[in-house]
Amino acid sequence: MKNRTFLYFLLGGLISASLMLGGCKPAKPVQARQIPLEDFFKNPEKARYQISPDGKYFSYMAPYEKRMNIFVQEIGTDKATRLTSEKDRDISGYFWKNPTRIVYLKDTGGDENFKLYGVSIDGSNLQCFTDFPKVRTEIIDDLYDFPDELIIGMNKRKAEIFDPYRLNIVTGKMTQLAENPGNIQGWILDHEGKLRAATAIVDGVNNQLLYREKESDPFKPVLTTSFKENLSPLLFTFDNKNIFATSNLGRDKNAVVIFDIANGKEIKTLYENKDFDVTDVTWSHAEKKLVCADFESWKAERYYFDEKGKQFFEKIQKKLGNFIFSITSMTRAEDKFMIRAYSDRSMGGYYVYDRATDNLQKIADISPWLKEEELAEMIPVEYAARDSMKIQGYLTLPAGYTMETAKNLPVVINPHGGPWARDSWWFNPEVQFLANRGYAVLQMNFRGSTGYGRKFWERSFKQWGKSMQDDVTDGTNWLISKGIADPKRVAVYGGSYGGYATLQALVREPDLYAAGVDYVGVSNLFTFMKTVPPYWKPMLDMFYEMVGNPKGDSLQFVATSPALNAGKIKTPLFVAQGKNDPRVNINESNQIVEALKKRNIAVQYMVKDNEGHGFHNEENRFDFYRAMEKFLGEHLK
């Protein structure tokens, strides 16, 4: 329901994965035990726990034939039932639809054309609801109050657009609710399950909110703004008259507001943070009220609307200490909750919280083979870019080091994907793996990273390879100036947009980096624009404003496309790519590899035929990180 979701996560989503250092500082850092590579990247024993709506069962995902499948276990027993038997690829995601049936999504070989399945909790009646070739299924609304129905979107009629359907998961019957005229990007239902609002793009670069009082009425536009302005509906108010939304209309940071949807105007600001965007709200189905708003400073935080809700969250937090937590699911009565807790040094675990008894019971560790005391802390850092803009990020030092004792370390600079996303304080297996191998890792939220407001976001427009890249370079030089980085042993590694930033770093700063690792990254802005998935095409005009237009900005594209400037690269490079990647076509990696091979520049190339945008199969992850470890070891140590 958020028009800019594709913009925020355009090139992200690769991995299904900072307290200030204190206490006594060791005079001499102690070398940590080298943890087996597989321990960082293998599938968890059990993960993605959810509790059933009636509180009688919990479900989870666990490996079967090396692929993550769905299991169900009655609470209080030790016996689990495996519901699925996927052997080719992990199930992408699932949830309980009612007390006896679970639905899940799965694609083929990373093509992201997800199909929707349903299965009963005894493993029977497995059914694919959307078995259509080259069609992508999306969940529009889980219809919480309608246990046998879902609202889904499919680009079945036309590859570029998604129509909404009401699906009965018992009979499999689908009813199309509306026909997308070609510009609608999101559909919003009220609490009675009626389709009453939509978000659209008009004239290529304007957002529009559409509304109708009854489903029999035609949709009418009630608000039109530039795509740079954000009014993102979250849910209808509980009387179904207005909507709760996040909005930056007339302000820099997204705030939670009540919006009069019939008349197209904000009527009340519920919460606004002066420094960070509010991203979402948590609300109670049972009590029909907002509980808190979510925002992220250097770590996830909450603002509470409700004192009862505040006490509820604080009780859990007190039991978990410094771990951050989220609620993954709850019973319909909201008396039992599935809790996921984690930190920067732990994948964490799952707990069931009983509200009546105030009991928090741990039911699983996600990766018990990793010991928190052996891993490294993420330190929040800030530095000034060359134009004085403040850039925040995270520095992870090998275990045993502090900012004071870390000197002349080998470093991996790690710009994030997106690019309109952000790095966060959480357990990142890549970062922990690199730190365990003795590397310091710097992650920066360069300009354009989300959560810092509209101005910070807009400062990234048409700056791919330019000031966005300067932020990466300036972070590298800042770390060298602090004496932490050995200037002769600095590598740059990133995935997706981070892969592009890696390539551009080697073009623009050929003497700064000793090695580069490009993971499913863009290399040629001209060809990248031509090969985006069809359902991104309605947003291309917006993309042209944000990245550049291949025609009007052709000179900039020539200057900022690494494949067209490969003659400047002299740094050894490792490239990894999924053959079926729908976001960054394999030709992007082919181009840069071929260009470097022609010049006899050291380049290593890994292609996985059964992967897409990032490697999800366990054995492919092992191959990639094993090769990366060897590559970095050769060039940085």
Active centre residues (catalytic): 496, 581, 613
Look at residues 330, 326, 380, 404 and name the one whose alpha carbon lies nearest to residue 144: 330
- Helix, strand, coil shares of the chain, percent, nearest 5, are 20, 35, 45
Integer angstrom CA distances of residue 617 from 14, 63, 498: 12, 11, 21
Rounded to 10 degrees, the C-alpha dihedral 306/311/316/322 comes to 90
Instruction: Provide the 10 A C-beta neighbour count for residue 274.
Output: 8
Name the E strands within 374-527: 378-384, 390-396, 409-413, 440-445, 485-495, 515-519
Q: Count of H helices and E strands in the chain?
A: 12, 35
Task: Answer whether 394's CB lies under 8 Å from 423's CB.
Answer: yes
Look at residues 459, 428, 460, 457 and name the one whose alpha carbon lies nearest to residue 441: 428
Angle, in degrees to the nearest 10, between helices 618-636 and 429-436: 40
Residue 292: strand, helix, or coil: strand
Q: How open is the CA angle 1-49-313, to the nearest 5 degrees?
A: 75
Integer angstrom CA distances of residue 7 from 189, 530, 544: 23, 17, 12
Q: How many residues does the chain have?
A: 637
Instruction: Provide the 10 A C-beta neighbour count for residue 609.
Output: 10
The structure tokens 């990894």 sit at: 576
Q: How open is the CA angle 242-245-247, to the nearest 5 degrees?
A: 125
Q: How far is Cα 591 from Cα 343, in angstroms, rounded to an integer?
A: 39
Torsion sign (Cα): 15, 18, 23, 29:
positive
Q: How far is Cα 378 from Cα 20, in angstroms, rounded to an integer?
A: 8
Residue 7: strand, helix, or coil: helix
Task: Answer whether 69's CB lies under 8 Å from 61's CB.
Answer: yes
CA–centroid distance for 534 within its chain: 21
Look at residues 121, 119, 118, 105 and name the one whose alpha carbon lies nearest to residue 72: 121
Residue 470 has phi, psi (to 5 degrees) of -60, -40
Residue 435 has phi, psi (to 5 degrees) of -65, -40
Q: Is the peptide bond before 419 cis (omega within 30 degrees of 0)?
A: yes
Residues 6+ apart with CB under 8 A from 579: 109, 586, 607, 608, 609, 610, 611
The structure tokens 């060298």 sit at: 480
Task: Decide: residue 475, CB within 10 A, 0-12 exposed, 13-18 middle, 19+ buried.
Answer: buried
Instruction: Provide the 10 A C-beta neighbour count for residue 38.
Output: 13
Q: How far is Cα 629 from Cα 41, in angstroms, rounded to an integer?
A: 13
